[in-house]
Amino acid sequence: KSFNPTQGQSAKIRYRLSKKAGVAIKLYDADNNLVMTLEPEGIDKKGYNERSWDGRDHKGNILPPEAYTYTIEARDLAKKQAYVYDIAEETGGRNLTLRELDFDYMTGDITYVLPKAARLRVRVGIKEGGPLLRTLVNREPKKAGRGRIKWDGMDSSGVSNLLGNPDLFANIAAVSLPENSIIVEGKGKPEEIEAHFNLEILDREGSIIPIRVTLDERDKAALINSRFEIIFFVDYVYLFEE
């Protein structure tokens, strides 16, 4: 399910109880941090019940666009025991095959159909071992159904426009979200790291041309905690990687 709290929308969470109980619903962000607790509203009846969430955290702030998971905690009044319903680890995390996938290298249009809600990553690059030129969508949560991404043809540097190149391809990966996920829509995107490098060609040593790559100091802290590798291309032809 998905909704946009900036437009006054809310998400409905439905559940079924085998007996009367006090129910608390806890919502977590992508890093499993508790962001909101919907406290019990009296005693819920046996059978189907429903609660609403307005997309806000404990402080009343609208949460940024992301996928949030929830747990349902039902407290047995007679036995004074709490039962927690959480299927986040049992569902989700599966690689999905997109249907009706199409990439038009002349216009930059990418269309697809997601069979289930998922985290989507979309990158464009050159075929047959060529470089990946730009990440268009970086593991963003997307709802099930038909989707469209418009690429302007520019590479990550913003210098080269590659539309019309028949060697272009779109690399798309989708990983299903847990069944107890709610996608909050709205403005804003997850922060991406744009690393800055200094490239220095050293004095030639015979047939070898040494190259020194130095990472900008301002990016070290961010990349140390990330997985990355340096890959060298000349005129979009792969040379080697470190």
Beta-bridged to residue 238, according to DSSP, are: 233
Through-space distance between the first and last CA atoms of the chain, rounded to whole angstroms: 42
Assigned token pair, 203: 């004095």
Compute the average pLDDT of residues 86-98: 88
pLDDT tens, residue by residue, 183-229: 999 865 444 555 666 777 777 777 777 777 777 776 666 666 555 66
pLDDT in the model for residue 116: 94
pTM for the whole thing? 0.72
Q: What is the pLDDT of residues 170-180, one digit of tens each?
A: 999 999 999 99
pLDDT tens figures, 181-196: 999 998 654 445 556 6
Q: Where does 93-176 sit in CATH, by number? A: 2.60.40.4070
Domain ranges of the chain: 2-85, 93-176, 194-242
Alpha carbons 120 and 51: distance in angstroms, whole number: 29
Q: Could you say which of 2.60.40.4070, 3.40.220.10, 3.30.390.50, 1.20.1250.20 is the CATH number of the domain covering 2-85?
A: 2.60.40.4070
Q: What phi and psi, each to the nearest 5 degrees, are found at residue 76? A: -70, 115
